[in-house]
Chains A and B, each alone.
Chain A
Amino acid sequence: MNQAKVPVWVSIALIPFINVMLAFFVSALVILALGEDPIEAAGYLIYGAFGYEEGIGYTLYYATNLIFTGLAVSVAFKAGLFNIGGEGQAYIGGLGVGLVCLWFDSSLPLMVIAPLAIIGGALFGAAWAYIPAYLQARRGSHVVITTIMFNFIASSLMVYLLVNWLKQDGRMSPNSRTFEESAWLPYMHELLAPFGIELSESPLNASFLWALICCVFVWGLIWHTRWGYQLRTLGTNATAAVYAGIDNSKVTIWVMLISGGLAGFVGLNEIMGVNHSLLLNFTAGYGFAGIAVSLMGRNHPVGIIVAAILFGALYQGGSELAFEIPTITPEIVVVIQGLVILFSGALENMLKDRIEGFFIRKSVA
């Protein structure tokens, strides 16, 4: 009931902002302890992320992955499910994308391969989420446990496939062959050049547009369809869902399928957009960072875009920072990222009650 008296902007903007600022404050202390100037460091970080075209390109390229995994977490979360298997689903989704590219790159044009790759990534990611979903819905095994286990299984499976089946003959590195160019997603700088928009080269590619489309799709699905209605009913009041004749097991399963499919799209960006071959560990923790993105973005597509760009900026600005100030090693940058995740994700509710309480008291007074 108290929720009503807290202004909306407080919970969707002020609290996340304060959390991030707290994280930056602690990061500043870390940098001070290293004997460096935090203000200068912040300057490099911001410049690195947003100061020039290539930097922005990198920021958005990282953000693309985080939008996919953030959406994946949020769809499940809206149904009351905590899918922390985004990492594995992204990995296997990437396999789907890669296989499509490997099979069709010499026979079909991009206009056909791209939709096939989207389907491939979605199907493989969804398939990887299906087993935990089934076990949750029909056997009561908690998805948190099973999805995390499936991350490890995905990791082992990919090593096996790449080493034994997909590796190029005669090469040491466990990569597939490089795809023909017909299976490369166009870079944004290529895509926009015909329209007279000149961008510096960066890994940002067409999958960013697909990420935005997915945001619209998720928004429509959750708030404007009967499936979304069922999903939200299940997520907010499972008893009411039973009363309404909603088949909770069925909803659980297809929500997880959508969630896994969304995570699988990371492969579009990484495999088809940038690396142009199947390789190990391309998911690099995006699946886990997606949890923080989703939490910080309040499980809403718009919030997720904002949070994903923030985290993308941390990735990109952070590497710039490590380059400019050698005392701040890449490991310290990871510490800063970790602090942001800690404060905006894990400690999300630390200040919430106090801040909301302040506004409730103010509105009562």
Chain B
Amino acid sequence: MNDNKTPLAIELRDISKRFGAVQANKDICLQVPTGTIHGIIGENGAGKSTLMSIIYGFYEADTGEIEIGGKKTHIRTSEDAIQAGIGMVHQHFMLVENFTVLENVMLGAEGGALLRQGKDDARLELKRLASEYSLDVDVDAIVEELPVGLQQRVEILKALYRGAKILILDEPTGVLTPQEADHLFVILKSLKEQGVTVLLITHKLREIMASTDNVSVMRQGQMVAHRETKNTDKEELAELMVGKKVRLKVDKDDAKPTGLVLSAKKLSLVDSQGVKRLKDVSFELNAGEIVGIAGVSGNGQSELLNVLSGISSLSSGEIQFAGETITAANPKNASQMRDLKMAHVPEDRHKMGLVTGFEAYEAAILGYHNSSAYNGSILLNRKAMLSECEERMAKWDVRPPNPHLKTANFSGGNQQKIVIAREVEQNPEVLLIGQPTRGVDIGAIENIHEEIVKLRDSGKAILLVSVELDEIMALSDRILVMFDGAVVGELPASDADERTLGLMMANAYNGPLSKTGDKA
């Protein structure tokens, strides 16, 4: 890479880490020259966070070596990492909110039983750091009263106070306004001028281009490319990030939409922190078509599924479905939406779709537990539950076909089949399906995709959310792209290619945003 005389700040050799069946990092090699800003970019789940956790000592690598400043270093705990001069600023801040800035910075380095001396020392040191790196912040302010951008600055100060010469920032701009983000980059530049090495983890191309010297791209647990930032561009990076994967093949004819089933008008959702998670999302869903929602995760897709399925109530806008108009003033809960024949396969089956402590036949009625099919006058009809579960396990090839096995003990693919079977067998009018094949093995993926197409061909409407572009392109008849809570593009699947979608997902696409208008 760079012909630097000084030793590399970080060198990783063949780092691998496996969690159960998932290979999170595979043979990762990385060289970061001292005093540079190095970007690491990749889709969600590409293994960036795992890699940073290994460098910071949260996990230990299964194999591989880490050199810090030219010396081989064993990092088993985050204390080792701090010792080695590594500081980390997490995506979610690790601050004690009702402490002052000073108290937060000295936390864990109080320097004695009585605070006074430590406080005075810390105050002096902070003053020095603040002037050296132009990181101004009122040291006596209570952290929770500071704006987010300043809280982040406190995190950076905390790391520097502990002597960090290498600073890792994990998705630092996720919580910042664009202005705060720009300011952060100014700070990073000044840190770099003082000889600090910065490792910037992000999935935003703009930030990489704006602030880094070098960039490494990760995909599916591997490092796929290293580039000098000045010798690359957004388009190349987007392509590297998404990759030219073998295209999944799904046998399907063209969609034959047979009429409007659901229409969403200007859906908005403001969360409890007052952040707009959905911004005027409008679309229509027809019977007999699959509409795919592409996007880097965390751009509003989950929130969209939640408002459509009744888990969250809208802040504004309206959904028209099954003769009902659902608005902020007239909300419907998840159970009422199910009654209207809206089925929902949630993105996270562990957190939401299943109760992992339940046996399969119990999890197989979640959400439909009030249905007369499963209930006698008082007691649950276990016989009916069991026989239906056995039937479905046979039909959907769930293995092992044991309705008494705890759902936690099925493989990901089989868990997913239990969830999808539960929702599809209710014969819904609309199926919302999030990450249908996340953590699912290849064989089961085909199977699940076939079932989704079959459901479409039987005249149902399907809204598919996936971070896998392959999946979106293989299944969808129409694709919407979401970015930052808004729909930023729409195109028929036939016109979609990975590059266009990748750029739209990064909100870096400059062509016409809607291609469907001229086709219809």
Interface residues of A (CB under 8 A from B): 1, 3-4, 220, 224-226, 229-230, 232-233, 236-237, 239-240, 242-247
A4 in contact with B379 (CB, 8 Å): no
Told that A226-B369, A240-B354, A242-B352 touch, could you supply 8 new A-B pairs with CB distance under 8 A?
A232-B357, A236-B356, A240-B353, A240-B355, A243-B344, A243-B352, A245-B337, A247-B333
A243 in contact with B370 (CB, 8 Å): no
> Which residue on B lies nearest to A229, using beta carbons?
B369
- A245 vs B370: C-alpha distance when bound (angstroms): 10
Contacts A233-B366, A243-B367: A225 and B351 contacting too (C-beta < 8 A)?
no
- B421 on the A face (CB < 8 A): no
B333 in contact with A245 (CB, 8 Å): yes
B window 370-389: CB within 8 A of A: 370, 374-375, 378-380, 382
Contacts A225-B378, A226-B369, A243-B346: A4 and B334 contacting too (C-beta < 8 A)?
no
Inside 8 A of B369's CB, which chain A residues have their CB? 226, 229-230, 244
- A159 vs B337: C-alpha distance when bound (angstroms): 51
- Contact partner of A224 (CB less than 8 A), chosen from B338, B357, B380, is B380
- B458 on the A face (CB < 8 A): no
- Contact partner of A243 (CB less than 8 A), chosen from B336, B353, B380, B382, is B353
A257, chain B: closest CB distance, angstroms: 18
- B358 on the A face (CB < 8 A): yes
Contact pattern, B 454-492, Cβ under 8 Å of A = 1, otherwise 0: 000000000000000000000000000000000000000
B352 in contact with A239 (CB, 8 Å): yes
A59, chain B: closest CB distance, angstroms: 33
B357 in contact with A226 (CB, 8 Å): no
Contacts A225-B379, A226-B380, A232-B358: A244 and B408 contacting too (C-beta < 8 A)?
no
Q: How many A-B residue pairs have CB under 8 A?
A: 74
Inside 8 A of B353's CB, which chain A residues have their CB? 240, 243
- B362 on the A face (CB < 8 A): yes
- Contact partner of B367 (CB less than 8 A), chosen from A3, A220, A225, A245, is A245
A4, chain B: closest CB distance, angstroms: 5
A224 in contact with B379 (CB, 8 Å): yes
Inside 8 A of A4's CB, which chain B residues have their CB? 406, 408-409
A308, chain B: closest CB distance, angstroms: 25
Contacts A1-B409, A237-B355, A240-B354: A220 and B379 contacting too (C-beta < 8 A)?
yes
> Which residue on A lies nearest to B335, using beta carbons?
A245
A-B contact pairs, 20 of them (CB 8 A): A3-B408, A225-B379, A229-B362, A233-B355, A236-B358, A237-B356, A237-B357, A239-B352, A240-B353, A240-B354, A242-B334, A243-B311, A243-B366, A243-B367, A244-B366, A244-B367, A245-B310, A245-B334, A245-B336, A246-B335
- A220 vs B375: C-alpha distance when bound (angstroms): 14
- A220 vs B354: C-alpha distance when bound (angstroms): 22
Inside 8 A of A243's CB, which chain B residues have their CB? 309, 311, 334, 344, 346, 352-353, 366-367
- A129 vs B351: C-alpha distance when bound (angstroms): 30
Inside 8 A of B335's CB, which chain A residues have their CB? 244-246
Q: Count of B residues near A, CB < 8 Å?
A: 34
- A236 vs B359: C-alpha distance when bound (angstroms): 13
Contacts A1-B408, A240-B366: A229 and B380 contacting too (C-beta < 8 A)?
yes
Inside 8 A of B344's CB, which chain A residues have their CB? 243
- A4 vs B402: C-alpha distance when bound (angstroms): 15
Inside 8 A of A1's CB, which chain B residues have their CB? 408-409
Contacts A237-B351, A245-B336: A226 and B310 contacting too (C-beta < 8 A)?
no
A77, chain B: closest CB distance, angstroms: 14
Inside 8 A of A230's CB, which chain B residues have their CB? 369
B513, chain A: closest CB distance, angstroms: 33
> Which residue on A lies nearest to B362, using beta carbons?
A229
- A177 vs B336: C-alpha distance when bound (angstroms): 54
> Which residue on A lies nearest to B333, using beta carbons?
A245
Contacts A224-B380, A243-B346: A236 and B409 contacting too (C-beta < 8 A)?
no
Inside 8 A of B337's CB, which chain A residues have their CB? 245
B472, chain A: closest CB distance, angstroms: 23
- A242 vs B367: C-alpha distance when bound (angstroms): 9
A-B pairs with lowest CB-CB distance, top 10: A245-B335, A245-B334, A244-B367, A243-B352, A236-B357, A237-B355, A224-B379, A244-B366, A236-B355, A229-B369
Contacts A224-B382, A237-B351: A244 and B334 contacting too (C-beta < 8 A)?
yes
Inside 8 A of A245's CB, which chain B residues have their CB? 310, 333-338, 367
A225 in contact with B366 (CB, 8 Å): no
B window 294-343: CB within 8 A of A: 309-311, 333-338
- A4 vs B400: C-alpha distance when bound (angstroms): 15
- A226 vs B311: C-alpha distance when bound (angstroms): 20
A249, chain B: closest CB distance, angstroms: 11
- A247 vs B370: C-alpha distance when bound (angstroms): 12
- A36 vs B380: C-alpha distance when bound (angstroms): 56
> Which residue on B lies nearest to A233, using beta carbons?
B355
B307, chain A: closest CB distance, angstroms: 13
> Which residue on A lies nearest to B348, using beta carbons?
A239
> Which residue on A lies nearest to B406, using beta carbons?
A4
A355, chain B: closest CB distance, angstroms: 20
A357, chain B: closest CB distance, angstroms: 18
> Which residue on A lies nearest to B368, using beta carbons?
A244
B310 in contact with A225 (CB, 8 Å): no
- A198 vs B356: C-alpha distance when bound (angstroms): 51
Interface centre among B337, B351, B374, B382 (most CB of A within 10 A): B351
- A3 vs B407: C-alpha distance when bound (angstroms): 12
- A230 vs B406: C-alpha distance when bound (angstroms): 17
Inside 8 A of B380's CB, which chain A residues have their CB? 224-226, 229
- A224 vs B354: C-alpha distance when bound (angstroms): 19
A222, chain B: closest CB distance, angstroms: 11
> Which residue on B lies nearest to A228, using beta carbons?
B380
Interface centre among A3, A236, A244 (most CB of B within 10 A): A244
Inside 8 A of B351's CB, which chain A residues have their CB? 237, 239-240
- A229 vs B359: C-alpha distance when bound (angstroms): 12
- A230 vs B366: C-alpha distance when bound (angstroms): 9
B336, chain A: closest CB distance, angstroms: 7
- A220 vs B380: C-alpha distance when bound (angstroms): 10
B295, chain A: closest CB distance, angstroms: 21
A114, chain B: closest CB distance, angstroms: 23
A365, chain B: closest CB distance, angstroms: 19
- A361 vs B307: C-alpha distance when bound (angstroms): 45
Inside 8 A of A220's CB, which chain B residues have their CB? 379
- A3 vs B379: C-alpha distance when bound (angstroms): 29
B370 in contact with A226 (CB, 8 Å): yes
- A229 vs B352: C-alpha distance when bound (angstroms): 16
B333, chain A: closest CB distance, angstroms: 6
Interface centre among B334, B336, B338, B354 (most CB of A within 10 A): B334
Interface centre among B337, B369, B375, B409 (most CB of A within 10 A): B369
Inside 8 A of A239's CB, which chain B residues have their CB? 351-352
- A243 vs B337: C-alpha distance when bound (angstroms): 11
B window 194-242: CB within 8 A of A: none
> Which residue on B lies nearest to A223, using beta carbons?
B380
- A237 vs B370: C-alpha distance when bound (angstroms): 18
> Which residue on A lies nearest to B338, using beta carbons?
A245
- A347 vs B357: C-alpha distance when bound (angstroms): 24
B336 in contact with A240 (CB, 8 Å): no
A74, chain B: closest CB distance, angstroms: 16
- A321 vs B357: C-alpha distance when bound (angstroms): 44
> Which residue on A lies nearest to B375, using beta carbons?
A226
Inside 8 A of B408's CB, which chain A residues have their CB? 1, 3-4
- A229 vs B374: C-alpha distance when bound (angstroms): 12
- A225 vs B382: C-alpha distance when bound (angstroms): 10
B343, chain A: closest CB distance, angstroms: 12
Inside 8 A of B311's CB, which chain A residues have their CB? 242-243
Inside 8 A of A247's CB, which chain B residues have their CB? 333
> Which residue on A lies nearest to B382, using beta carbons?
A224
- A239 vs B348: C-alpha distance when bound (angstroms): 10
